[in-house]
Structure 1
Amino acid sequence: MGIRAGHESSDKKSDLNVIYIVLDDVGYSALGCFGSEIKTPNIDSLAENGLRYNNFNVTPLCSPTRACLLTGRNCHSVGVGLVTEIDWGPQYPNKRGRISDTAATLAEILKLNGMATYMVGKWHLVPGHEAASSGPFENWPLSKGFERYYGFLLGMTDQYSPDLVYDNHRVKKPDQSNYHLTSDLVDKTLEFLTDHISVTPDRPFFLYLAFGAQHEPHQVPREFIEKYDGVYDKGWDQIREERFERQKEIGVIPPYTELVERNPGIKPWDELTAKEKLLFIKFQQTYAGFLTHTDQQIGRLLHFLKSKNKLDNTMIVLLSDNGGSQEGGWNGSINDAAYFNSIEENIDAMFDHIDEIGGPSTSPNYPKGWAQVCNTPFKYYKQNTFFGGTHVPLIIHCPQNIPDRGSIRSQFYHAIDITPTILDLLNIEAPQSYEGVPQMPLHGVSMMDTFTEPHAPTKRKTQYFEMLGHRAIWKDGWVAVTYHETGMPFDKDHWELYNVNQDFSQKYNLAVKYPGKLKELQEIWWQEAKKYSVLPLNDSPFIKGYKGLQEGRTTFIFYPGMAHLPTSAAPTITLSSYSITVPIFRSNRTAEGVLIAHGSHSSGYTLYIKDNYLLYEYNYVGTVYKIQSSVEVPVGHSTIRFEFKREMILQGTGKLYIDGQLVGTLYMPRTLPFVISVEGLDIGRDRLTAVSPNYPLPEFPFGGRIEKAVIELHDDYEYSKFFKKEKRDPIYINIDGTISYL
């Protein structure tokens, strides 16, 4: 057992409840109370009755920020230096995809001290290969201090057809019309809290509510999109300027702040074509409607707390995990697999689906021009260590402890400082040992003095940042930062220098004027990197990764009845020749359905029987390759087989067999290089979103009997072959499937 410290000896424990609300990919200016035209009245009410922090930073990526937030330690130190889908293996202890046992979470500490602990929503702190329904479970929420859990384990999921986990098992989404994940998460939150206050009303609780919003896919009911008809017709340049002026008016940026220039590559709005403007307006309307919908659901939670007399004794911390996302590319996206395969989607092709954006048949993300608007007044985006990636809104609502409500605080703090603040407020010390494991000290410091002292000096003097080779260091109001080009030696990076006490938006690079200061900060960065386990550095987003129990396997045997298997735990067929063999039995000619499917409406493959014929479809982000058998599938026992022979890395030939007889062949000039789909694999049905629009829903379960499905990988191209030997430049997949180097 860990030690219960501090509060154990007190005569009376605090009755304060604690709620973390984490939004996803919400940049500094996206909320109404931080200058946006987007309507967020419920979030704004938290700001009006609490504090807004305008100098708060996180890591520029999902998982690392969540690790910082829950542990009070720096992300690399606890093993979460990148998203957790890939475990980088023992050679990279800073990127193992799970929180180290030497860093107990806030949930574990509060549970030890008698609080109830609940989590709802996005976890994203488990290695991808451990996200299967077979576990192991030691890195799932229930093993990290939470007593009840409902949500999704990995970085993203479909808002209409999510991959849901309840406690330690997968479940179907509720059978209700007009289903939406954000509403469902709040439904379950209210269910958990109702149970809690009905039976144990005097026991304080900790709730960690992490929405999928505003991560892509941006999906929301049409009426929320229509709320913003006409709002964005003026374009991203004018909207950004208007947000900037509004930010000055309400005081969330200093009056001396200057708006930075457009990020490199973003076109002036006036230079876009009419078709581009219409498409990009729809993308931003959808993002705005999605955020307003999320705010409405937060309003349901606040109403519940108020109606149960719990709001005034509940501390609520609301923040975003990083800045606005650049992952939609220059044109935006309607197929989420495009980004993960370095594919830039075509304007004309997307425009043909403009009326579907926001609905269940697309996975939209907005273009980079709107992402910079989201991050006003800063430059760059999520993944980058400039303020556009790290500087996010923070609201703290704590009526018992904040007398100066509605105010703004300007002290520099970081995500690692939130949990120490909670422990300070509750008079609980972090344990030196937890379940027999010695604990690393907290890296964060308490912000609690800012609740009552508006001008209290920050206790944080230094903070490093690193993400995929992008680096930065903040110290006493100075920032040294580099935008790292993938493949370049780290010692060749061009560093910039900013005095953010005088230049809030990082507009004026002072590196030439103060070379001594820049060198001093660079040296401090390396000191902090060594201290907090940032080293070794690696800038490759396409590292093959360590697959845990699947490492080295070339044969996978799956059985009918298996739960949905996330892509991160499924066989990696990209860049390989492979075969899929499925022995089946059909009792009659009406037995049809899916034999195996891996993917969604955005990408993937499916093997199914319909109208007595065997069909294989491969969805290359909207382009579909289809093979139909030349003969019918026999009644009785038969063996179905699909073979793919890789040629020229991305091309290949697919062949269909029934009982060893070749019944169909097709040359496939384009296949996906990295990620077959964001959505996972099913046997005997297609559970979430359908890979093919050509079969009936839901699931199109096979009406016969499947003995097993065997996937065999016949070779394995290393991702490193996609990089030039001299610089390891990243590839770019052209829309025609050919390869270019950046």
Structure 2
Amino acid sequence: MTTPPLRRSPNIVVILADDLGYSDIGCYGSEIRTPRLDALAAAGVRMSQFYNTARCSPARASLLTGLHPHQTGIGVLTQDDGPLGYPGTLNHRCVTMAEILRDHGYATAMFGKWHLSGDVQHPNDAWPTRRGFDTFYGTLGGAASYYQPVTLTRGESVEPVPTDGFYLTSVLGDEAAAFVRRHTANQPDTPFFCYLPFTAPHWPLHAPPEAIDGYRGFYDKGWDLLRERRYRRLVAEGLISGDCPLTDRDADVTAWADTAHREWQALRMQVYAAQVELMDAAIGSVIDAITEAGQLDDTLILFLSDNGGCAEAFQPAWVDEMDRRPLAALERTSSGERVRLGNDPSIPPGPPETFTSYGKPWANLSNTPFREYKHWVHEGGIATPFIAHWPSGGLRQRIDHTPHYLPDVLPTVLDVVGATYPDRYSGRDILPLEGISMIGSWTGSEPMRQRSMFFEHEGNGAVRSGRWKLVRKYGQGWELYDLNVDRTEVHDLAAHYPDRVRTMSEAWHTWTERCGVKPWAPLHAARAARRDTAEQIRTSPLRA
């Protein structure tokens, strides 16, 4: 039974970027134009040490539930890895932000990427419409063409593949803005929750020519110079201490001066920048609708990214010749052109007949000043820009250096609206929240709480406890960093503090057992075996 709030609670808008690096928006040091996000930051709080979970699906699960992703059934992605691994679909041991807010009297709507159900063909209990959202328009899968997205769904009805004139990022902004206008016109006294998880700027590199041309010349001097410039801006803004050095260029990345095909390389980043700017414009459409309704000051707007910049790459191939084509890639465009996948100078990114990514060199720029990328739990994989805007809630322009992470978002929203987290929901037991509210941190009214924050993805592990961070890559030893003086993880102190390494690693293992983290070694081996089997079938001379 829906219980209306005793007073009008603030609207809640949660905006999630996809594969956006720490320094990819203007107010976090970027050369990319993001005026609408910059304006929110100028009148709100920027967090310098907020963490995600290093990957798409797990981040979404944690954001919406206040739990660690492993507890929700989504420890890696939406693939069913049973019996060794996770079911890859949102389970019944969690309750979503939308479910709680709807029961608290909110209208709930989502526009964008879901990526929390293993089955994207048949409506089920893990679809957004059955996890608290009254309105849904977006993609159910993990990635898609921006021109012709697959798994595009309205409510529980699959939408036809769009034709010419469609660009997903802009359409999501338009749909969300239209929802705000309808709702505030028809139910001005009822608060709304709008969840806006974009696919941008996740691969493929897709953007209209005029948006790409707007960055002509921006990247001609290459990643080395731009990493230094972004670092200096981050220091000047007070987001990073000047005592923390800029990490070296990734060892796998060639110096720009020695790089071949520099015009093509620059074009890749031009397209990526255009995708980010178009996302900012779409966010602006929603902000304009809220402003027109006179409700901007009393709307809590949160912006963040699901993981760090993505270094994933593709080998060149015609999609219609692939035995196992990516779900997100169509074989032909709406005009009948064959789609070519891959990162190669012969494939200029941007138009619908291509399916490419910007690769490790530009991901290294996106994650300035850190090292590593999406998948890993070093700072480059889990550090995200985070903006909180809510003038009526007492938020003012400031930088908050308090460490927080995704499980803290739901407790914060519940604190803001005065809603209670349930012990049971729809007749089932719910796991207790793992996070804490950030309101006191944002307003500066509460001292920093001493606690540990834990991370795991694909065997990569980390624990942050105060100034100390213990982190490792799967199959490698633990590294220890004092983030108060070495946020960029340059000086490994593990050999100097063996007792601290032992204590923190024991705490991490205790956490993995409590939260149902699956051992990665057997799961990794099982996945490799499945790939090998598929490859043998594909190359067999007896294959029909």
Which segments of 5 or more consecutive residues in structure 1 lack a partner in the other structure? Answer: 486-492, 546-571, 577-645, 656-742
SS in 2 for 1:151: strand
Structure-2 residue corresponding to 1:484 = 474
Q: Is the 8 A contact 1:482 1:494 kept in 2?
A: yes
- TM-aligned CA deviation for residue 407 of structure 1: 1.1
Deviations 1:276-335 (A, max 9, x none): x22211111110111111111111111111112121111101000000001127x99997
Structure-2 residue corresponding to 1:701 = none
Q: Is the 8 A contact 2:298 2:393 kept in 1?
A: no
- TM-aligned CA deviation for residue 353 of structure 1: 2.6
- TM-aligned CA deviation for residue 193 of structure 1: 2.1
2:502 pairs, out of 516, 519, 529, with: 519
How many residues in Structure 1 have an aligned counterpart in Structure 2?
A: 528
SS in 2 for 1:244: helix
Inter-partner Cα distance in structure 2 for 1:251 and 1:363: 37
Structure-2 residue corresponding to 1:372 = 364
Deviations 1:463-516 (A, max 9, x none): 11111111111111211111124xxxxxxx311110111211111111111122
Inter-partner Cα distance in structure 2 for 1:32 and 1:89: 42
Q: State the percentage of identical aligned residues.
A: 34
Q: Is the 8 A contact 2:316 2:342 kept in 1?
A: no
1:385 pairs, out of 369, 377, 381, with: 377
Inter-partner Cα distance in structure 2 for 1:494 and 1:573: 27
Inter-partner Cα distance in structure 2 for 1:347 and 1:75: 31
Structure-2 residue corresponding to 1:131 = 120
The reply to whether residue 82 of structure 1 matches residue 76 of structure 2 is yes
- TM-aligned CA deviation for residue 652 of structure 1: 3.8
Inter-partner Cα distance in structure 1 for 2:471 and 2:356: 31
Q: Is the 8 A contact 2:307 2:381 kept in 1?
A: yes
Residues 257-276 of structure 1: matches in 2 within 5 Å? 257-273=244-260, 275=261
Structure-1 residue corresponding to 2:519 = 536
Inter-partner Cα distance in structure 2 for 1:335 and 1:413: 41
Deviations 1:658-713 (A, max 9, x none): xxxxxxxxxxxxxxxxxxxxxxxxxxxxxxxxxxxxxxxxxxxxxxxxxxxxxxxx
1:465 pairs, out of 455, 458, 473, with: 455
Letter in 2 for 1:62: C
- Against the structure 1 CA distance between its residues 574 and 170, is the aligned structure 2 distance closer, same or farther, given a 3 Å change threshold? farther
Structure-2 residue corresponding to 1:361 = 353
Deviations 1:17-40 (A, max 9, x none): 000000000111011000001110
The reply to whether residue 117 of structure 1 matches residue 105 of structure 2 is no
Q: Highest Rg: 1 or 2?
A: 1
Q: Is the 8 A contact 2:8 2:189 kept in 1?
A: no
- TM-aligned CA deviation for residue 14 of structure 1: 3.2
Q: Is the 8 A contact 1:64 1:83 kept in 2?
A: yes
Deviations 1:58-106 (A, max 9, x none): 100001111111001111112111111x1112443xx221222121101
Residues 227-306 of structure 1: matches in 2 within 5 Å? 227-273=214-260, 275=261, 277-306=262-291
Inter-partner Cα distance in structure 2 for 1:185 and 1:432: 34
Inter-partner Cα distance in structure 1 for 2:113 and 2:404: 24
Letter in 1 for 2:24: A
Q: Is the 8 A contact 2:319 2:341 kept in 1?
A: no
Inter-partner Cα distance in structure 2 for 1:417 and 1:385: 18
- TM-aligned CA deviation for residue 152 of structure 1: 0.4
**Larger RCO (CA within 8 A; separation ≥ 6):** 2
Letter in 2 for 1:255: G
Structure-1 residue corresponding to 2:334 = none
SS in 1 for 2:480: strand
- TM-aligned CA deviation for residue 538 of structure 1: 3.9
Inter-partner Cα distance in structure 1 for 2:353 and 2:525: 28
Letter in 1 for 2:134: E
Letter in 2 for 1:150: Y
SS in 2 for 1:393: strand
Which segments of 5 or more consecutive residues in structure 2 lack a partner in the other structure? Answer: 328-339
- TM-aligned CA deviation for residue 527 of structure 1: 1.1
The reply to whether residue 315 of structure 1 matches residue 204 of structure 2 is no
Q: Is the 8 A contact 2:48 2:401 kept in 1?
A: yes
Structure-2 residue corresponding to 1:434 = 425
The reply to whether residue 475 of structure 1 matches residue 458 of structure 2 is no
Letter in 2 for 1:28: Y
SS in 2 for 1:196: helix
- TM-aligned CA deviation for residue 539 of structure 1: 6.8
- TM-aligned CA deviation for residue 574 of structure 1: 9.8
SS in 2 for 1:55: strand
SS in 1 for 2:302: strand
- Against the structure 1 CA distance between its residues 647 and 48, is the aligned structure 2 distance closer, same or farther, given a 3 Å change threshold? closer
- Against the structure 1 CA distance between its residues 286 and 381, is the aligned structure 2 distance closer, same or farther, given a 3 Å change threshold? same
Letter in 1 for 2:160: K
Between Structure 1 and Structure 2, the one with more strand by share is: 1
Deviations 1:244-281 (A, max 9, x none): 011111111123221111223122222212x2x22211
- Against the structure 1 CA distance between its residues 339 and 386, is the aligned structure 2 distance closer, same or farther, given a 3 Å change threshold? farther
- TM-aligned CA deviation for residue 450 of structure 1: 1.8
The reply to whether residue 418 of structure 1 matches residue 401 of structure 2 is no
The reply to whether residue 402 of structure 1 matches residue 390 of structure 2 is no
- TM-aligned CA deviation for residue 445 of structure 1: 0.4
Q: Is the 8 A contact 1:151 1:165 kept in 2?
A: yes
- TM-aligned CA deviation for residue 531 of structure 1: 1.6
Q: Is the 8 A contact 1:334 1:362 kept in 2?
A: no
Q: Is the 8 A contact 2:370 2:488 kept in 1?
A: yes
- TM-aligned CA deviation for residue 457 of structure 1: 3.1
SS in 1 for 2:70: coil
Letter in 2 for 1:421: T
Structure-1 residue corresponding to 2:148 = 161
- Against the structure 1 CA distance between its residues 270 and 55, is the aligned structure 2 distance closer, same or farther, given a 3 Å change threshold? same
Between Structure 1 and Structure 2, the one with more helix by share is: 2
Inter-partner Cα distance in structure 2 for 1:264 and 1:362: 28
Inter-partner Cα distance in structure 2 for 1:350 and 1:171: 32
2:24 pairs, out of 27, 30, 36, with: 30
Inter-partner Cα distance in structure 2 for 1:47 and 1:332: 40
Q: Is the 8 A contact 2:110 2:135 kept in 1?
A: yes
Inter-partner Cα distance in structure 1 for 2:538 and 2:160: 37
Inter-partner Cα distance in structure 1 for 2:34 and 2:125: 37
Q: Is the 8 A contact 2:8 2:190 kept in 1?
A: no
Inter-partner Cα distance in structure 2 for 1:278 and 1:427: 54
Letter in 1 for 2:351: G
Q: Is the 8 A contact 2:372 2:379 kept in 1?
A: yes
1:103 pairs, out of 87, 94, 102, with: 94
- Against the structure 1 CA distance between its residues 156 and 259, is the aligned structure 2 distance closer, same or farther, given a 3 Å change threshold? same
- TM-aligned CA deviation for residue 233 of structure 1: 1.1
Q: Is the 8 A contact 1:464 1:525 kept in 2?
A: yes
Deviations 1:697-740 (A, max 9, x none): xxxxxxxxxxxxxxxxxxxxxxxxxxxxxxxxxxxxxxxxxxxx
Inter-partner Cα distance in structure 2 for 1:425 and 1:349: 45
Q: Is the 8 A contact 1:24 1:211 kept in 2?
A: yes
- TM-aligned CA deviation for residue 13 of structure 1: 2.3
SS in 2 for 1:88: coil
SS in 2 for 1:160: coil
Letter in 1 for 2:539: L
Structure-2 residue corresponding to 1:144 = 131
SS in 1 for 2:454: strand
Inter-partner Cα distance in structure 2 for 1:495 and 1:100: 32
